[in-house]
Amino acid sequence: MLRLRIFALALLLTPAASAYAAPLMPSSTPTMEDVDPGVDHTGRDKDLPSELRRQSVYYRTEQPPGTIIVNTADRYLYLIMGNGVALRYGVGVGRDGFQWGGIQKISLKREWPDWVPPPEMIARQPYLPRWMAGGPGNPLGARAMNLGGTVYRIHGTNAPETIGQAVSSGCFRLVNDDVIDLYSRVPLGTKVMVQHQ
């Protein structure tokens, strides 16, 4: 334990620490089975490479605890916990031409949401359904959190291979395990900072 404290102090005192997020101990947060027992799910945290799995990291920021920071270049979402610590989640981000940056707030939260593709998406992909019921096969996955009055969301996915990739139309996707965990931690009105570099 003493070695861990010395290591943590060394990280916080080094100049590079402000841009560095180092892993802490593994998170003991709920899994899909804990939250929705008896349902066969895809998109689990364990389906991800270790660097994209949810974990506590050292993260220096002036933002208050509870803030979400999405770094689209690094393909991580950080939930600021305070005292130089954040929960880091691997995310899929917008593909070329669909990246964006700015500040929004979580304006709506839904469990197993229905999917209604926005008109802009239907114009690009007219073969899409106009509505799809929520459930394990839905592209929004287990949870969705709308960002302000935009068409963008933080949502789940049943395709863990898309995490760490630039594949979406501007939304941020997490595996279902992770979006359930994040959803349980953040209320409506949570500040979301999207850093696009």
CA distances to 33, 106, 177 from 37, rounded to whole Å, are 4, 27, 12
For residue 85, being part of any structural domain is answered with no
Count how many domains the chain has. Answer: 1
pLDDT at 45 over 80: no
For residue 131, being part of any structural domain is answered with yes
Q: pLDDT-based confidence at 76, cuts 50/70/90?
A: very high
Mean pLDDT of 138-162: 93
For residue 115, being part of any structural domain is answered with yes
Question: What is the set of active-site residues?
Answer: 155, 171
For residue 140, being part of any structural domain is answered with yes
HSE (side-chain half, CA atoms, 13 Å) at 101: 6
For residue 14, being part of any structural domain is answered with no
The predicted structure's pLDDT at residue 44: 74
Each residue of 92-146: pLDDT tens digit?
A: 999 888 899 999 999 999 999 987 777 777 777 776 666 667 777 788 999 999 9
For residue 13, being part of any structural domain is answered with no
How far apart are the C-alpha atoms of 96 and 158, rounded to whole Å?
22
129, amino acid identity: P
| Higher-pLDDT residue of 51, 130 | 51
What CATH number does the domain containing 43 carry?
Answer: 2.40.440.10
pLDDT at 1 over 60: no
pLDDT at 193 over 70: yes
**Mean pLDDT, all residues of the chain:** 80
**Strand ranges for 32-91 from DSSP E:** 55-58, 68-71, 76-82, 85-90
